[in-house]
Amino acid sequence: MIKKVDISVDHVTRVEGHGNIRLRASDGKVEHVEWQVPEAPRFFEAMVRGRSFEDIQTIVSRICGICSVTHSLASIKGVEDAMGIKVSGQTDKLRILCHYGEQMESHSLHVGYLVAPDLLGQNSVIPLVESHPDVIKTVIRLHRLGNTWMEIIGGRMTHPITLKPGGFTAIPSEQQLRELKKSIEDAVPDLKILADVILSLADKLPTFDRETEYIALKYPDYYTFYHGDIGSTDTDEQVPVQQFERVVNEYVSPQSTAKWCKWHRDSYAVGALARFNLNAEQLLPMAAETAKKFGLKKGACNPYLNNVAQVIECVQVAEHSLQLIDELLTKGLKPEPVKVEPKAGEGVGCVEAPRGILFHRYAFDEKGLCTKANICIPTGQNHANIQKDFEAFAPQIIDRDQDEIRLLLEMLVRAYDPCISCSTHFLNVKFV
């Protein structure tokens, strides 16, 4: 008897784009497997054209509710690059600190709310409240810490209001920084619990290695999410962020309506595992110890291990934040009035979003009005790699039960922590 597998996981909504999984196989042979995603929305680029450089951050911070600090920072760096604006060491550190709050929030949410249910055999986080209350309460405390952290530096728990080209409109008090430091120190046991829980479940992460090119920022001074040039595991060459188009090489594939990206191979991956693979030797002691516990080493090419790298990065950002706060307090915080005179120019801002490297390019006229914008998001850069993973992994699991195949492919997509439909969220209800 010929065994047929036909998987079609569809999600169609009115505006937001979701990914669909397609798999057709017959008699143990994969005939078609596809990660279908619509083109990432480019309308934000049209929205900022004609707008003042001072308004760009406010607009792009609304692209995403989870990466709003990341988009804000990428846009601000793009403006500063275009206009030749230099910022103070205090601004630099406070921005990085704010960005770390977002990494903590996003990674703890992703690992706790989306990945843990898979590993614990549940279809959502809600049943875990009864079955694994300690795990969920730990995750929620870390998520809450991330929110408070961003509120202290960014002025709001999401969509920050203090981050502007040239500096900050308001800075936290030294007392607030001391309180934040204590909260981070108090969270260290929770980070250990999170790592131990995921470690105890790590054998549930599927085994699937595929040699992959990983791309992330590289910076000599520390494990970076903010400064540096573009690096790759396939080359020693580092590319200045101003030349990011040389790296992303967006192209149209007949297989997909979304543009794909490639550099040295057919695809590449960005995100926590990419950063780890490029920069692991720069992890601080607690983070390095966490990596050691998991046995994660540079060169890992199982995409499911992105979730392990996220746990390690939670520890890394906590540890580095404690250092940054000490440095800020030692020097003393002082208000730094921001005055930016617009001038014509073009520039690029690049930061590492929780889910991978993000590029913003802008051009401005002499009045500071935006004449050109191009935003290249990490999820868009990962789509081709998800497809290549599907093509390699599906034949390896095709003999399994159809529901298990579907779950493994869904888990693979989840492992990349994609940002697919974040710009809308409206209620859609029926009355009962």
Cα gap 259→355, rounded to integer Å? 18
Site for other proteins contains 170 (CB under 8 A): no
Shortest distance, position 41 Cβ to other proteins, whole Å = 6
Pattern 19-58, binding to other proteins, x per CB under 8 A? x---------------------x-xx--x-----------
- Residue choice 30, 40, 104, 109 for contact with other proteins (CB under 8 A): 109
DSSP string for 55-97? THHHHHTTS-SSSHHHHHHHHHHHHHHHHT----HHHHHHHHH
Question: What is the number of other CB atoms lying within 10 angstroms of the CB of residue 106?
Answer: 26
**Pick from 71, 77, 143, 262: which binds other proteins (CB under 8 A)?**
143
Q: By CB under 8 A, name the one of 7, 120, 140, 301 that touches other proteins.
A: 140
Binding pattern for the stretch 372-411 against other proteins, x by CB under 8 A and - elsewhere: --------------------------------------x-
Q: How far is the CB of 422 from other proteins (least distance, A)?
A: 3
User: What are φ and ψ of residue 430, in 5° steps?
Assistant: -120, 145
Q: Which is nearer to other proteins, 1 or 432 (CB)?
A: 432
Round to whole Å and give the CA distance between 274 and 309.
Answer: 9
CB 227 to other proteins: min, Å: 26
Among positions 7, 18, 176, 264, the unique one binding other proteins when judged by CB under 8 A: 18
- Binding of residue 199 to other proteins (CB under 8 A): no
CB of 161 to other proteins, least distance (A): 9
- Residue 120 in contact with other proteins, rule: CB under 8 A: no
Taking the complex as a whole, how short is the minimal distance between the CB of residue 246 and other proteins, in angstroms? 29
- Interface with other proteins (CB under 8 A), residue total 59
Nearest to 201 by CA among 120, 310, 295, 117: 120
Alpha carbon distance 32, 77 (integer Å): 42
Phi, psi angles (nearest 5°) of residue 331: -80, -25
Amino acid at 396: Q
Residues 147/65, Cβ–Cβ less than 8 Å: no
Q: Is 158 in the site for other proteins (CB under 8 A)?
A: yes
134 is a contact residue toward other proteins (CB under 8 A): no
Per-residue CA distances from 136 to 115, 126, 139, 425 (Å): 12, 9, 5, 23
Strand arrangement, sheet containing 20-26? 4-9, 20-26, 29-36
Q: Which residues pair with 358 in a beta bridge?
A: 351
Question: Which of 1, 2, 86, 124 touches other proteins by CB under 8 A?
Answer: 124
> DSSP 3-state assignment of 187?
helix
Question: Residue 38 is which amino acid?
Answer: P
Binding residue for other proteins (CB under 8 A) from 22, 62, 192, 293? 62
Q: With contacts defined by CB under 8 A, name the span among 104-112, 165-173, 237-245, 332-340 that binds other proteins.
A: 104-112
Residue 232, beta-bridge partner list: 215, 235
Note the residues at the interface with other proteins (CB under 8 A): 9, 11, 14-15, 18-19, 41, 43-44, 47, 59, 62-66, 68, 106, 109-110, 113-114, 117, 123-126, 129-130, 136-137, 140, 143-144, 147-148, 156-159, 410, 413-414, 417-432
